[in-house]
Each structure stands twice: as C-alpha cells, then as structure tokens.
C-alpha cells in the first residue's frame, strides 16, 4: 500500500473498466489531474477524444463505473486478490517505460500502449521484486513437441537460477514455460488478458492454481473481465515492459510474435528468439524476426538468455527475496516445513520430514520454495533459518 | 590459355608441389619475380623462411619437382583435365581477394591464406564464368537427415535459378548440395583437397563422375596428390573466396565451419547459416556462428540466400554462358539433342526426342544443360537455337 487513497484506487479500477488499459487519453489525464478528477471528466464527456467518449457512453449504459469498481474490489478481497497502483511498494516501475513507447506504425492498437493504471494480483510474492529478475517466454499456442520441450527446458533453467519466468498462461509455449518454472520449484508469473478470478483458458486451471501458490497471477482488467480477443494484444505490451527481456520460442509466419518483439525492441529490452528447423511452420515466424530485425538475438538455452539479459546489467542484480512478513502467507505445507527448521544450527531434509510428518519429496519441494523466498538456506550440509541481516549477494549461475 | 609460358605454368605446378598452396612466402615471391625465378630461388634454398626451406628439402629428397610437374601435366592431358593459371581467360579473379586476407588469429594455418598459384580443372565449363554466380553450401559430414534435406533443397533452388552450387565433395552436407544441384539439371563445382584424378571420398565416385559431366571438379593440388588432413583447411579458403557467399547447413560445436565463416566475413562475402533445432548437436555450430558473429546471417531457403548475395550486387549479374566453341566439349547425349534442334524456328521436346531417338526424360535433362550453356532457348512454346548476338539479360528469379 502507498499514499494512494481508496477513492484514487477505485477510480483507477473504474477508468480501466470504462476504457481499455493503455488508453493514451485516459493515462495522460490521470498523470495530469489524478484518477479521481479524470474519472469525473471522462464521465462528464469532458475529454478531447471522440472515440473515448463513445466507448464511455456505451459502458455507462451497462452500469455505474464507481459501483462496479466497488464490487470488483470487494470480490477481490474475498478471492485473496489485491490491487496494486503506482506509488505502492510493489508497483513494477519498469512498466512505466511504456510512457515513452512510440511505435512508428499507425492504427488503433498502437494508440493503446500507455502504462497500466493498476494491476490485480493473486499470489504471495511482492510484484516488483518478483519481476526484477524476470524473463518472458512466449510463443505459439499450437506449439510442436519441439517448442514445448525447449520452452519447458529453458524455463526450468531460468527458474533454477532464481529468475522469474513470465508468460501469458495460454496453451502451447506459454503453458510449457510456466510448467518448466514450476517443476524447478521456481517463480512464475502469468499475465492475463482477463480478470484474475477467471484465468483463461479453463483447460489450464490446475496450472493456474499452482501458479497462485508458487508465483503470481496478474492482470490489468478488473475481476470478472472476459478474455476478449483484442485484450491479448493490449496485454502483450505489459509482458514486454515488465520483464528484463522476452524470448519467442515458436511462432507461425506473420504471427503476433513480431508485434510483441517490435515492442520489446522499442523498449530497449533484449528481443530473443529460439530458432528451429527451417522445415517447421512453427519456426517460420521466429526466423522472420531473426532475419528482419538486426537487433533480435538468437538464443538456444537458459544460459544464452542470461547472457543477453546480463548485457543490460540485470543479470547481476540481487534475486528478489520474500520479506519476513510473507511467512504468514505461506501455504500450509511450507509453513510446517519452516516451523520444523531449528532456530539455531541446521537440520537435514530427512530430519525435517520426520519432524513435519511429511514425505521427503514434499519437504524437498517446499524447501526449494522457502529457499527462493529467502526464509531458509543451505549451510554445513543442512538447512538453516535465514538470519535477520541481509543475505550475502549470491552468484545467479 | 593466356600469355603464361609453358615453363611458367609448369613452375607453378612445381611450386605447389614443393610447398602447400597458400604459402605466403612463395606467393609473394611469385608476385615479385614470376614462378620460374621463384622456383629457382626456392630450390636454391634462397628464401627468407626456414620452415619453407625445410619443407622443400624434404620434398626434393622425394623427387625432382620440374620432372613431377611435367608428369602431372602429361597425365592431366590424358585425363582431360586442364591447368588454369592467373592471366588465363577463365582464371577466377575473385580468388585473388585472398591476397588481402589478414586474419587476426596466429598460427600456422593462417599463414597459408594467399591465393592459389594454379587450378586443375575437369569439366567443360569455363571456370570463372561458372563461379561468377556461385554460392558455397558446406557443412557436417555427419549431417542429419534434416541437414541433408535442407542442403539438397537449397542447392536445387539455387541451381534452378541459374546459380552454381559449390561445395567440397565430402559426405553429408557437401554431397547433398552437389546432388541437389545435379537433380535440378544445374551446375555444381566440387573443390577438392587432392588431385582431380582421384576425387575423395571414393564413396562419392559416381557423384564425381556426374559432376565432371555437368559441372566442374577443381583443385589446387597436382594430379596424384593425396587428401591429407591439413589440406582441407587450406582448401576451405578457396571455397570462401571464389563464391559470392557461403552457407553453412549443419555444423557441430567448435567445428571447422566457424573457421570457414571467419574467412568468408574477412573477405566481405555474405556468411550465411541455416538454423536448426536447438536440441540437435549438428546445429550447435550453426547457432554458435549466428550468436557469435553479428555479421553472419540466418537463411532458411534458396530465396533467402539470393537476397543475401544480391546485397553485394552479384544477384543481378548476367548468368555465365558457355561460349560457342564449348559445343565440342559437350557430352554425347547433349550433342545429339543440340543437333536435333532445327537451325530456324523451334521444336518441341517431344519432337527432339523423336529426332534424337532418346527418351523424353533424357532430352529434357539435356535441354536444361544446353539452356544453361546458352546454346538453346525456349521460345513460342518450343526450343530454339540461340542466335549469335548476345542474349537479352534474363531475370534470375
């Protein structure tokens, strides 16, 4: 939480509901006059943007935006979701780079590239710290087994090295990336184009549950929002902006990946591409980007990716560590394992399993999480609680 | 032939036998004093290069270089091979760019990068015209089926568009490239690291026979020379220098392909690389080049290759045309087909097949060759002899 008033927070929600996120006029007005005054202007039709006026008229015919924001906030609370706005400790400052993004192609979509007004978040990790060392892995829904394998493997390697793997939660490459990070016991973030109460697609529900437990679900859209087609393109600018770099694993010819990559490059982030067989339709888009864009970079592994993001100085940054008070938000199993760790000295995983009355496998999995959270550490061949003083800087490889 | 005397030609052969091709000292002396005087200096031990003096001493213990050159030239004549030296009409002038090649890594090999003193050639095409529009396709001997497929396909596409496909005659990618060009009825050139009388490897003998018929076998080494290991590296500089660009199709990690590509780039030729699955060991070297070298270019097809070589202005060059007197060197089938074409007007391939008493398939194959040679042309739905006046410039795609 920050100095933003409840009224300001609710106004940001209402504005996101009235006009799609990224709207240039709305964002500019909010910067000038704040969200509360902007909401009043927008509702009064007092904006220099005919398209926005029509959109607002259509939306207010459906419902009262202030009332809808209130309901969304109440439902979020029940769901365990939180609203994050600029000025909050966990606001991901990197996303504000979108304020300077000017794409040289015309058209409606490119008008909608301003920073978000707010984020809805599910999961215990602080948003900004989690995104600081993050890489996006995205690609085709119709991934081949090759693409799924590479995405999983790369995500596993990044998560193992304490990097957050971010993706869009879709079938194919996205899901493979999330799952790879989850399998490594690492952090993963799904940025959705709909409400965090109804992550899409439903076929990935079990995975989303695991992401909520082990990482974060994030969206600009209020609780209840549907995954409309155009929202994915708007969402993509956030994927490009909040990460240290983006990797495309598989993409068909002339796919959305090219658009995402032009945003990544416009934001001065590494635009990384995994090559594939030139005989595979699912690699045509990847090779198009590599041939068409001299600043795009070919990557073949997690280590290649770290080399690229390392070039912009992120690589050596401190891994994010969950603050002590996050203990309260731990899942039950992790809390039990943490409780079993002795206050002084160390215990072996086997001793912890005995003390917590859990299987060794579960203990090891939970220990990975607790270690990433900075709550426990390996020392003298055993597990120890992390002391209060800040940890030594760790080598990320 | 040119103004070079027989003595000068024989001296170049003797020098190549005494010291390996590319030797900096020998080449520099030949530039200054001519081959005849240089041979005398070298035999007298009158050279400022201890390594060269030792090598020459060892060689002259084996035989008299002037005598060996004579024998090689006589054997070449019986074989139908010819010697090409600088100043000859068909000397490939592009190879002289090696004179300016300075590689920044030390070591023995990099001392041996000077231009050849001579070429031995088997096949009817004039060497320089054949190489003017040529692309090298090289890669791993242990190619996968993917690599072989891509090399064949790319070579076919280039040959179809009147480009010569050059390679090293080896198993794997090289053979696939030669065969793709042959299948298209196009021109292909094998640059060997041994005498043109004993093309290596023997397992590709049938292919070499077809290359002699439809393209060219080329080597710097005299008739009878063995394919010693170090000769392949020396040979590679010629592949890089005589072509408009080089494509690596598959290469293992830290393979010779990287060395070839650094030469291609040092010569300001397009260094092109076919990507592959990041899970394939045979593509690791390709991805290494693409990641390590900002000037290397990813290519996925013959059209991509033409786009790259087009950038240096070669693409729109006139395709080489066999001069009229090459008729005498035509293989028997081609000569029969050519004879069947009426002096005025046109004939259909079916009519030619009937007149020449050959299968339609054979006629079509020979017509492709005759057309590439500029001896026949397609007109009004039939085949016509090419008139004496120079042909209109043709669109290579």
Q: Taking 70 as the threshold, does the pLDDT of residue A107 lie above it?
A: no
pLDDT tens per residue across span A46-84: 998 899 999 999 999 999 999 999 999 999 999 999 999
The mean pLDDT of B50-59, rounded to a whole number, is: 93
Residue A276 near chain B (CB below 8 Å): yes
A284 contact residues in B (CB cutoff 8 A): 300
pLDDT exceeding 70 applies to what percent of chain A?
89
CB distance A291–B279 less than 8 Å?
Answer: no
pLDDT of residue B2: 58
* pLDDT above 50: residue A375: yes
Q: Do A274 and B274 touch (CB under 8 A)?
A: no
- Residue A387 — very low, low, confident or very high, per pLDDT cuts 50/70/90? low
* DSSP class per residue in A99-123: GG---SS-SSGGG--SPPS-EEEES
A149 touches chain B (CB under 8 A): yes
Higher pLDDT, A397 or B226: B226
Query: What gap in Å lies between CA A322 and CA A330, rounded to an integer?
Result: 11
pLDDT of residue A158 exceeding 50, the answer is yes
> In this model, does residue A369 exceed pLDDT 90?
no
Residue A101 reports pLDDT greater than 60: yes
Percent of chain B with pLDDT over 90: 69
pLDDT at B320: 39
Q: Which residues of B touch A283 (CB under 8 A)?
A: 275
Closest CA to A278 of B308, B245, B301, B173: B301
Output the pLDDT for position A328.
56
Distance, CA of B191 to CA of B248 (rounded, Å): 16
- Vertex A163: Cα angle to A160 and A169 (nearest 5): 100
DSSP B51-63: HHHHHHHHHHHH-
Is the CB of A277 less than 8 angstroms away from the CB of B279?
no
- Which of A279, A290, A300 is closest, CB to CB, to B278? A300
pLDDT for B243-302, tens place per residue? 999 999 999 998 888 888 989 999 999 999 999 999 999 999 999 999 998 899 999 999
Determine the distance in angstroms separating the CA of B253 from the nearest CA of chain A, rounded to an integer.
13
Is residue B190 predicted with pLDDT exceeding 90? yes
User: Residue A309 pLDDT more than 70?
Assistant: yes
Confidence bin at B154 (pLDDT 50/70/90): very high
Put simply, the answer to whether A275 touches B298 (Cβ < 8 Å) is: yes
Question: Rounded to an integer, what distance in angstroms lies between the CA atom of residue A256 and that of residue A187?
Answer: 26
ipTM: 0.73
* pLDDT at A105 (0 to 100): 54
On whether any CB of chain B is under 8 Å from the CB of A150, the answer is yes
**A278-287, B48-57, B273-282, B347-356: least confidently modelled range:** B347-356
Average pLDDT on A218-242 reads 95
- Identify the structural domains of chain B with CATH numbers, from first to last: 110-310 (3.40.50.450), 324-385 (1.10.10.10)
- What's the pLDDT score for residue A396? 36
Residue A86 banded pLDDT, cuts 50, 70, 90 = very high
Arithmetic mean of pLDDT, B185-196: 97
Burial readout B226-255 (b: 16 or more C-beta within 10 A, e: otherwise)? ebeeebbbbbbbbbbbbbbbbbbbbbbeeb
The pLDDT-based confidence of B394 (bands split at 50, 70, 90) is very low
**Smallest Cα distance from A105 to chain B, Å:** 25
Q: What is the mean pLDDT of residues A107-124?
A: 82
Cα B151 from Cα B247, distance rounded (Å): 9
Could you say which of A146, A274, A287 has the minimum Cβ distance to residue B298? A287
In angstroms, the CA A272 to CA B29 distance is 50
How big is the A-B interface in CB pairs under 8 Å? 55
Considering only the beta carbons, identify the residue of B146, B150, B275 that sits closest to A275: B275
pTM of the complete model: 0.76
Least confident segment among A85-89, A257-261, B43-47, B121-125: A257-261
A100 CB-near residues (< 8 Å, 6+ apart): none
pLDDT score, position B361: 76
- Which of B169-173, B193-197, B262-266 shows the lowest mean pLDDT across its residues? B262-266
Q: In this structure, are residues A333 and A362 in contact, taking their beta carbons and an 8 Å threshold?
A: yes
Q: How far is B330 from chain A (nearest CA, A)?
A: 38
Contacts of A279 in chain B (CB under 8 A): 146, 149-150
- Give me chain B's average pLDDT, please: 88
Using CA atoms, how far residue B207 sits from A248, A312, B124, B169, B203, in Å, is 41, 51, 16, 9, 9
Q: Kindly list the residues from chain A whose CB atom is less than 8 angstroms away from the CB atom of residue B149.
A: 279
pLDDT at B183: 97
A281 interfacial to chain B (CB closer than 8 Å): no
Q: Do B287 and A276 touch (CB under 8 A)?
A: no
3-class DSSP state of A197: coil
Buried b / exposed e along B26-63 (16+ C-beta atoms within 10 A): bbebbeeebbbebbeebbeeebebeebbebbeebeeee
Residue B339 has pLDDT above 90, yes or no: no
Contacts of B278 in chain A (CB under 8 A): 150, 274-276, 300-301
CB < 8 Å to B275, chain A: 275-276, 278, 283, 287, 290, 298
Question: How high is the pLDDT of residue A303?
Answer: 95
Residue of A nearest to B284 (CA): A300
Q: Is residue B311 predicted with pLDDT exceeding 50?
A: yes
Q: Do B275 and A279 touch (CB under 8 A)?
A: no
| pLDDT surpasses 70 at B213 | yes
Kindly report the nearest CA distance between residue B2 and chain A, in angstroms. 44
Task: Find the range with the poorest average confidence among A233-247, B7-21, B51-65, B90-104.
Answer: B90-104
Partner-chain residue, chosen from A275, A278, A290, that has the shortest CB–CB distance to B278: A275
**Picking from A98-112, A136-150, A368-382, B263-277, which range would have the lowest pLDDT averaged per residue?**
A98-112
Q: Which of B150, B277, B291 is opposite residue A276, by nearest beta carbon?
A: B277
**CB distance from B279 to chain A under 8 Å?**
yes
Answer with the residue of higher pLDDT: B346 or A112.
B346
Per-residue confidence (pLDDT) for residue B6, from 0 to 100: 94
Interchain pair B277, A279: CB under 8 A: no
Lowest mean pLDDT among A15-19, A191-195, A387-391, B226-230: A387-391
Residues in B closer than 8 angstroms to A290, CB to CB, are 275, 290, 298
Closest CA to B239 of B169, B181, B168: B168
Between A279, A283, A298, which is nearest B290 by CB?
A: A298
**Residue B82 and residue B76: Cα distance in Å, rounded?**
6
Instruction: Determine contact: A304 vs chain B, CB below 8 A.
Output: yes
Alpha carbon separation from B327 to A90, A208, A287, B331, B369 (Å, rounded):
81, 74, 44, 9, 12
Give the whole-angstrom CA distance, residue A192 versus residue B219. Answer: 62
Q: Check B298 against A279: CB less than 8 A apart.
A: no
B143: contact with A, CB 8 A cutoff: no
DSSP B70-93: HHHHHHHHHHT-EEE-TTSTT--G
Name the residue among A290, A291, A301 with its Cβ closest to that of B278: A301
Find chain A residues with C-beta within 8 A of B290's C-beta.
275, 290, 298
Cβ A298–B304 below 8 Å, yes or no? no
- Taking the Cβ of residue B304 and every Cβ of chain A, the question of whether any pair is shorter than 8 Å is answered with yes
């Amino acid at each position: 939480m920050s100095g933003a008033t409840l009224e300001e927070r609710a106004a940001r929600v209402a504005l996101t509901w009235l006009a799609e996120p990224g709207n240039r006029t709305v964002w500019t007005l909010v910067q000038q006059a704040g969200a509360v005054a902007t909401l009043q202007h927008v509702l009064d039709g007092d904006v220099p943007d005919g398209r926005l006026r029509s959109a607002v008229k259509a939306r207010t015919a459906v419902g009262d935006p202030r009332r809808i924001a209130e309901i969304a906030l109440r439902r979020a609370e029940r769901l365990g979701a939180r609203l994050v706005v600029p000025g909050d400790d966990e606001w991901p400052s990197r996303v504000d780079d979108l304020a300077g993004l000017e794409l040289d192609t015309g058209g409606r979509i490119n008008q909608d590239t301003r920073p978000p007004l707010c984020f809805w978040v599910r999961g215990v990790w602080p948003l900004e710290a989690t995104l600081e060392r993050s890489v996006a892995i995205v690609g085709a829904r119709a991934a081949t087994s090759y693409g799924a394998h590479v995405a999983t493997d790369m995500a596993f390697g990044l998560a193992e090295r304490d990097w957050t793997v971010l993706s869009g939660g879709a079938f194919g490459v996205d899901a493979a990336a999330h799952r790879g990070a989850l399998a490594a016991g690492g952090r993963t973030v799904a940025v959705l184009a709909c409400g965090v109460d109804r992550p899409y697609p439903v076929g990935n529900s079990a995975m989303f549950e695991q992401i909520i437990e082990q990482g974060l679900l994030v969206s600009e859209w209020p609780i209840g929002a549907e995954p409309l087609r155009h929202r994915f393109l708007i969402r993509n600018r956030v994927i490009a902006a909040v990460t240290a770099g983006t990797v495309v694993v598989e993409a068909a010819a002339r796919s959305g990946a090219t658009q995402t990559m032009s945003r990544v490059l416009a934001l001065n982030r590494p635009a990384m591409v995994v090559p594939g067989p030139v005989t595979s339709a699912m690699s045509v888009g990847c090779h198009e980007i590599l041939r068409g864009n001299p600043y795009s970079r070919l990557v073949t592994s997690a280590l290649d990716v770290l080399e690229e993001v390392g070039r912009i100085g992120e690589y050596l940054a401190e891994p994010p560590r969950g603050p002590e008070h996050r203990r309260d938000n731990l899942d039950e199993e992790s809390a039990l394992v943490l409780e079993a760790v002795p206050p002084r000295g160390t215990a072996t995983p086997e001793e912890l399993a005995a003390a917590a009355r859990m299987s060794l496998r579960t203990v090891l999995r939970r220990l990975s999480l607790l270690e990433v959270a900075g709550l426990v550490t390996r020392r003298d061949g055993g597990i120890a609680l992390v002391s209060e003083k800040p940890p030594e800087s760790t080598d990320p490889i």
